[in-house]
């Protein structure tokens, strides 16, 4: 007797953290992000392709501006 197994990988989508208008542009998150996913500018932003959802940025943000 022969069995045939098939495997269909499931794509897992990571929901990156986001930076709200509460951001005071202090730079703490940029220094702490292990993936370098945060960009500085008039408005700080997190690249969803680079964010691994580790939560480091949110835990160090003094204004609470970073969340899922």
State pTM to two decimals.
0.73
* 32 exposure class (CB count in 10 Å sphere: 0-12, 13-18, 19+): middle
Distance CA(6)–CA(25), nearest Å, equals 49
Residue 11 has pLDDT above 70, yes or no: no
Ordered structural domains, the chain, with CATH: 18-63 (3.30.70.20)
> Can you read off the two tokens belonging to residue 41?
């500018």
List all residues 6 or more positions away from 47 whose beta carbon is below 8 Å from its beta carbon.
Answer: 16, 37, 38, 39
Percent of the chain whose predicted confidence (pLDDT) is above 70: 78
DSSP state of 42: S
């Amino acid at each position: 007797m022969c069995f045939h197994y098939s495997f269909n990988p499931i794509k897992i989508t990571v929901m990156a953290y986001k930076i709200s208008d509460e951001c005071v542009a202090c730079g703490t998150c940029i220094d702490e992000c292990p993936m370098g996913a945060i960009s500085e500018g008039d408005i700080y932003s997190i690249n969803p392709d680079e964010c691994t959802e580790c939560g480091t940025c949110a835990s160090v943000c003094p204004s609470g501006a970073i969340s899922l």
